[in-house]
Amino acid sequence: MKMNTDRFSLTVDEYLAETNVLFYLNDAVTQLLEHKEEYTQFGVVRYFAEYFASVKNGNHVLFREFSYIKATPHNRESFIHIFWKCFRQIGKNGDLLAMSEYSSLLQLLCPDFPSEMVQNTARIVLIDDATDCLSFSDFIYSFQIQFYYEEFVESVSVIYQDLLSGKNPNTVIVPTSTSVEQLSSAANEEPDAQEGVDSSIFCECIEGLCERFKHKFPSIVAIKEILESSQRVSFYSFLLALAKHEGINQDISALPNKSDLLIDPEMDQELERL
């Protein structure tokens, strides 16, 4: 959440918007007003100190509602990181979990976490519908893309559908959630969807989207790297490639490399004692 030296040339509103300071202040005050009796014993100044310390450390998203968790990029990254820390032991035995089980795990940390997002994650990884079980590692990297770049994924999906249906690639429609559902179910019915679209046109359209996109998106360099590797690409193979891309993972900085994903020395020590 650190800014560069240009921050002195930003207006007050721009500076505050860069790291969503007003959002956090707003939430801190709302929480304080909702739990007055509890927090005023503690001391109002200390309350704010604890609140902002927990935001800085990334613990602030624990057990909060979904609307709070998805509200800022820092919140999303913190949630993904906490999910990994809490549940990485599950991956150690190589167990495969069903999507409903991943949903339950997410809801342990966030009671109203929507299961649709887990279903969308599954579509990225699972090639056939025969099984809906994934390894922890496969799940979490795909989940990261789906959750952290949710708006980007939605917009790219619309671009993809337009290209498939032969529409003008430079027209980008901002989707509502219902239109995306309809479009993706339509794609699943078409046999041609498997063949995908031309990678270079797809790449140009995505670049055009990113020039004016207000939400977070993966680096253009990484996107180009992925799309230059083959002539045609399908939507889910593109998302899978984003999920596996090490550079994108480092940019988000919520998760370690795949080789370090399951390392948990403290828990290992505890388990050895038992």
Which residues lie near another protein (CB under 8 A)? Answer: 1-4, 7-8, 12, 15-16, 18-19, 21, 24-25, 29, 32-33, 36, 40, 43-46, 48-49, 52-53, 55-56, 74
Give dist(CA 37, CA 194) in Å, integer: 58
3-state helix, strand and coil shares in percent for the chain, rounded to the nearest 5:
70, 5, 25
Question: How far is Cα 112 from Cα 106, in angstroms, rounded to an integer?
Answer: 9
Amino acid at 129: D
- DSSP 8-class letter at 215: S
200 Cβ partners below 8 Å, 6+ apart? Answer: 227, 228
Closest distance to another protein from the beta carbon of 76 (Å):
15
Q: How far is the CB of 32 from another protein (least distance, A)?
A: 7
The residue (of 24 and 84) whose beta carbon lies closer to another protein is 24
The nearest distance, CB 81 to another protein, in angstroms, is 16
Nearest-approach distance from CB 6 to another protein, in angstroms: 10
User: Which C-beta is closer to another protein: that of 52 or that of 213?
Assistant: 52
Residue with tokens 């230059």: 228
Q: Smaller CB distance to another protein: residue 6 or 207?
A: 6
Cα dist from 88 to 1, 105, 256, whole Å: 25, 11, 11
Of the pair 19, 237, the CB lying nearest another protein is at 19
Nearer to another protein by Cβ, of 7 and 85: the residue is: 7
| Cβ 80 to another protein shortest distance, Å | 18
Widest pairwise Cα distance in the chain: 64
